[in-house]
Amino acid sequence: MKVVKFGGSSVADASQLKKVTNIIKSDDSRKVIVVSAPGKRSANDTKTTDLLISLGESINNGNKDEQIYNKVMDRFADIGKDLNISNEVLESIEQRIKEACEATSLDYIAGMNALKSCGEDGTALLLSAYLQSSGLESSYVNPKEAGILVSDEPGGALVLDESFDQLYELRKRDEILVIPGFFGYTPEGKLVTFSRGGSDITGSIVAAGVKAELYENFTDVDSVFCVNPTIVDNPKKLTTLTYKEMRELSYAGFSVFHDEALIPAFKEKIPVCIKNTNNPAGQGTMIVNKREEKDGHVIGIASDKGFLNLYVSKYLMNRELGFGRKLLQILEDEGISFEHAPSGIDDMSVIIREHQLPKEKEAVVTRRIAEELHVDTITVEKDMAMVMLVGEGMNQTIGIASQAATAFRHANVNIEMINQGSSEVSMMFGIKSDGLASAVQSLYRTFFS
């Protein structure tokens, strides 16, 4: 049994949904289908989820935007018409959106979660109906019916362990099941969404629950590239990588697969395959537990901007038991999560994503650190970028650090920070953002040419 997830571009219009149907038809084991909301049909198009969010915001502002509402409805209507779907299906989609609009006007957060989920839900209803009309036995399965139970963290739900046993019951069903991605229900029955892009998470949860032989993730790229293709032209494709490698790559700039989506698949050791809806015969990229040729090579370069370095120094810091802990405690008190906290003898740096530390928080945090920890200096350096080299076994290979550092030198980019040794499969470099592109290009030449 395979679980197959189709992303936003794969379900953007009727012609894409026909491709999806052919993909499902071509392999009997594709039994459980998870879908995203209709994505962009062209570069200037707007994703359905973005329309729904704008709609919800207009309601929250006391002035429901009917134009946006109509745009949403038109998207579903166009698909329904092109696929000859019965009006009943479209009416039930519209009914659900209307209810979510009302809910939003009463309770913004709960309503918005319901409204955001309408994109995936509508797609699942449409696809299930189309599969039936194409002669395949099929059912729409709501996440509540499927048993996807989640924590009550709107926009950032985490799956609850009890989900998996219930999902396993889906194996008993014979027809093709179509489940909308992106949301689940709390044990109290409240609809809560995952973080953005969360259909990948639903797919992974379902794959783990039904103990699928494979979790296929159809998107609009043939495979995962080894580096951001907007920085390097025509980069190499990855045919196989491990869960750990993918997780590290996802963290910093690799948006092809959701950061957290790997966890459920990883726990059950379900292999994941990234494929292209527009080229289903292509090899794709396999994500597996163990890769055979673990020769300690760099397999990918991830990179991301938008970091800052909170730097403090204090004489005899290393003699002060608890200094680092107290500094991290202040950040925790203020709800700020950090990425790394390398420390020297009398210095400590904390790398934070810039959005975590808006101006007013920055003032509070720096004042508290100065007053409570009596530091000598405290500075905040912005516009930092992180570059991450990823590869299993890499950290046990002599010479990788040397090659990497030389690549930065050739790009004439200074390395502000190196974080190696904490992760077994990656090496991280902090640089100024303006040197990012040339540094990544130089690293690519070093490790992939």
Residue closer to a copy of itself by CB (options 131, 192) is 192
- Is residue 374 part of the contact set for a copy of itself (CB under 8 A)? no
Burial class of residue 49, CB neighbours in 10 A (0-12, 13-18, 19+): buried
The DSSP result for 5-74, as a single string, is EE-GGGGSSHHHHHHHHHHHHT-TTEEEEEE-----SSTT---HHHHHHHHHHHHHTT---HHHHHHHHH
> How would you classify residue 234: left for phi > 0, otherwise alpha for psi between -120 and 50, otherwise beta?
left
Residue closer to a copy of itself by CB (options 187, 344) is 344
The secondary structure of residue 296, as a DSSP letter, is S
- Is residue 348 part of the contact set for a copy of itself (CB under 8 A)? yes
CB atoms within 10 A of CB 212: 26
- How many residues form the binding site for a copy of itself (CB under 8 A)? 65
Kindly identify the residues of this chain, within the stretch 263-322, that bind a copy of itself according to CB under 8 A.
263, 266-267, 309, 311, 313, 315-316, 318-319, 321-322
Q: Quick one: which of 155, 235, 306, 324 contacts a copy of itself (CB under 8 A)?
A: 324
Helix (H, G, I), strand (E, B) or coil at 140: strand
Which residue type occupies 318? Answer: N
At closest approach, how far in Å is the CB of 68 from a copy of itself?
32
With both helix axes pointing from N to C terminus, report the angle between 118-133 and 14-25 in degrees, rounded to the nearest 10.
60
Backbone angles phi, psi at 419, to 5 degrees: -125, 100
At closest approach, how far in Å is the CB of 37 from a copy of itself?
24
Binding mask 213-252 toward a copy of itself (x if CB under 8 A, else -) reads ----------------------------------xx--x-
Contact criterion met (CB below 8 Å) for 289 and 243: yes
Contact criterion met (CB below 8 Å) for 79 and 14: yes
- Is residue 153 part of the contact set for a copy of itself (CB under 8 A)? no
Strand pairing class (417-420; 426-432): antiparallel
At closest approach, how far in Å is the CB of 117 from a copy of itself?
22
At closest approach, how far in Å is the CB of 248 from a copy of itself?
6
Kindly identify the residues of this chain, within the stretch 412-431, that bind a copy of itself according to CB under 8 A.
412-424, 426-428, 430
At closest approach, how far in Å is the CB of 309 from a copy of itself?
7
Residues that bind a copy of itself (CB under 8 A): 247-248, 251, 260, 263, 266-267, 309, 311, 313, 315-316, 318-319, 321-322, 324-325, 328-329, 331-332, 335, 337-349, 395-399, 401-402, 404-406, 408-409, 412-424, 426-428, 430
